[in-house]
Amino acid sequence: MVSERDIFDISGPLHLSSVNWKCPQHRRSVAASLVQSCYVLERDRQQNCLASEALAPAWWKFFHFELIRTLIDDADFSIFGAIFKFNPPISMQNSTMSDAPKFVIAFRGTITKKDSLARDITLDLHFIRNGLHKTSRSDIAMQAVRNVVSAVGNVNIWLAGHSLGSAMATFAGRNMAKTGHLLETFLFNPPFFSAPIERIKDKKVKQGLRIANSFFTAGLAIALKGRHEKSSEDSFTILSAWVPSLFVNPDDHICSEYIGYFDHRAKMEEIGVGSIERLATQNSIGDLFLSAFGKESEPLHLLPSANLTINMSPSPDFKTAHGIHQWWTPDANLQTKEYRYR
């Protein structure tokens, strides 16, 4: 049965009949719509839709993109992403067009339908274990990004993802940043797996737990990493030039820890223990223990820099708080702050 949320004319950002590519709200809305199209592409596939019945194309054609390629998982043959090319008519040329993306590589998150659920859940578990980078889906995504950058350069190429797809976009963006290619990246409801400290209402208790966690993590890093500590910091510093845009909702426990993650770093600087936090912020306790046992681990959720946007609008339930549709709502109450690792 078709959901109204997949029908662009009902649920899409119809108010964006003219896109100002310099406007953050417009850029965010377009990126989120292209991610949504990846969800609908897979649902169209699962429902065996004919081309004339497919709902996905409206999500990219409205903004004058064309579908260049779908990204197919080699385990279950589901569509997990897509590559889009911006191809506007000559009549649309305006002064903001130079800020439009040439290509957008978008990734969907988990779909709770039987044809893709098992594979998606498996990948969610890989992410929790800091092992998403070792999966074949990550390899396919990374190769797709490399191919586009190799063909056209890294100017005006966007990465975008939601939930699990955000983790995939983070993986690709981090790897490209390590080689000097800084791609504009939109991460919607990116997963941050940790103790749910952000959900604690008492601010003093919350801050105390974060400070204790920082000292414990930093101490553990020194004890377990030793001489490797400097190379880890150098890697984090190199990565800091990449500033992805994160979009989180405080009522979404999957991504809300990013709020405290970045805010706490600023507070640690204020109380004079920034050096402790700089060490803690580039390590996770799980990663440290895995490394101690000789297991390869890459905690994708640890980011040096970011433009963090928080949706302060009330969410009636978790599904709404974690949903992609909130990110093109024109009257959302959003707060944005830039964090730079120094």
Decide if 249 contacts 311 (C-beta within 8 A). Answer: yes
Q: Among 87, 100, 80, 236, which residue's Cα sits nearest to residue 165?
A: 80
Strand ordering across the sheet containing 245-248:
65-72, 79-86, 103-107, 157-162, 184-188, 245-248, 306-311, 334-339
| pLDDT tens column, 69-87 | 999 999 999 999 999 999 9
pLDDT at 256 over 90: yes
Question: What is the pLDDT, as a whole number, of residue 132?
Answer: 93
Question: What is the pLDDT, as a whole number, of residue 227?
Answer: 44
Q: Among 194, 184, 143, 193, which residue's Cα sits nearest to residue 161?
A: 184
Q: Mention every residue, 6+ apart, whose C-beta is less than 8 A from residue 147.
A: none
What percentage of the chain carries pLDDT values higher than 70?
Answer: 89
Tokens of 239: 């990565």
What percentage of the chain carries pLDDT values higher than 90?
Answer: 65
Q: What is the pTM of this model?
A: 0.89
| pLDDT tens column, 158-174 | 999 999 999 999 999 99
Distance of CA 248 to the CA centre of its chain: 10
Strand partners, 105: 83, 159
| pLDDT tens column, 264-274 | 877 777 777 77
Question: What is the pLDDT, as a whole number, of residue 341?
Answer: 79
Decide if 267 contacts 213 (C-beta within 8 A). Answer: no
Decide if 81 contacts 148 (C-beta within 8 A). Answer: no
| Mean per-residue pLDDT, 314-318 | 95
What's the N-to-C CA distance of the chain in angstroms?
A: 51
Question: What is the pLDDT, as a whole number, of residue 120?
Answer: 96
Distance CA 127, CA 130 (A): 5
Which range among 113-117, 207-211, 247-251 shows the weakest confidence by mean pLDDT?
Answer: 207-211
Residue-averaged pLDDT of the chain = 88
